[in-house]
Amino acid sequence: MRTIAVFGAGKLGEVLLSGLLRAGWSADRLLATARRPERAKELEERYGIRVVDSATALREADVLTVAVKPQDAGTLLAELGPKLPAGKLVVSLCAGLPTSFFARHLPEGTPVVRVMTNTPALVDEAMTAISAGSHATAEHLALTEEMFRPLGRTIRVPESQQDAVTALSGSGPAYFYFLVEAMTDAGILLGLPRQVAHDLIVQTAIGSAVMLRESGEHPVKLREAVTSPAGTTINAIRELENHGVRAALLAALEAARDRARELAAQSG
């Protein structure tokens, strides 16, 4: 079993640590770094792992997971790069940062795998996209998948598609929350109490998502099964089309993709 170190054990780093433990990873094979002593104590008491300094993590870990904020990654890599032993796998959770950014800060030949997950990792329902840097092998990708599979589903994509992944699934939960918020408000407009409207929409969203995943049917087919001739559903869909909801979604995701590209460009 490999030893994994998480640099920057904030919310996402903690989610990864807890998922690995639930999957049977031994606590003595997990390390973390933390800036604040109280955070270090919290992680040690909650998970039974060791919170160590960067030098210890570099020396003992086989996999170095970078989970700091993107704007802090350069500083961390400048510290780690000169001391990084050969053969260590670096896994990046830094949204928007390409593997080429890591290559500029790390020794030549260091394998880097770029990961984009999302907040449903908190409930083990994440969608995680994994991309190989120029020196990462199939073995490195398989190890990264093993790390993130406890948090939900994983998929391999070329790194050139990561900005699209960020727009679609990385930011995707926010779009669904926005839709649930709007539909809850609609329920209130129609005379339902807020909690009733909320419960109706949330369970409908969960049930619809499960049907999409479990049935394997195209969403159009599932939608048509609910859409009776001259019924309520087709009248609602007509209004959605008249107000350009489909076009708005396309434009929104393009805007998110473009912003991801801008952030990557700003990283230098």
Cα(113)–Cα(90) distance, integer angstroms = 6
Q: What is the per-residue pLDDT for 207?
A: 98
CATH topology of domain 4-163: Rossmann fold (3.40.50)
69 is in an annotated binding site: yes
Q: What is the per-residue pLDDT for 262?
A: 87
Q: Which stretches of the chain are DSSP H helices?
A: 11-22, 37-47, 54-60, 70-80, 99-105, 138-148, 162-165, 172-189, 194-215, 219-226, 232-242, 245-266
**172-264 classified as CATH 1.10.287.130:** no
Domain ranges of the chain: 4-163, 172-264
CA angle 115, 157, 118 (to 5 degrees): 40
Across the chain, which has 268 residues, the per-10-residue mean pLDDT values are 90 90 91 91 94 93 93 90 91 92 93 95 94 96 95 97 96 97 98 98 98 96 97 97 98 95 79
Class of residue 153 by CB neighbours under 10 A (exposed 0-12, middle 13-18, buried 19+): middle
Q: What is the per-residue pLDDT for 268?
A: 62
Residues 34, 54, 90, 145, CA torsion sign: negative
Q: First and final CA of the chain: distance in angstroms?
A: 36
Q: What is the per-residue pLDDT for 111?
A: 97
| Six token digits for residue 205 | 């969203």
Q: Which stretches of 108-244 are DSSP H helices?
A: 138-148, 162-165, 172-189, 194-215, 219-226, 232-242
SS3 for 107? Answer: coil
Cα(157)–Cα(64) distance, integer angstroms = 21
121 is in an annotated binding site: no
Cα(94)–Cα(98) distance, integer angstroms = 9
| Six token digits for residue 44 | 């040690």
Calculate the CA 164 to chain-centre distance: 13
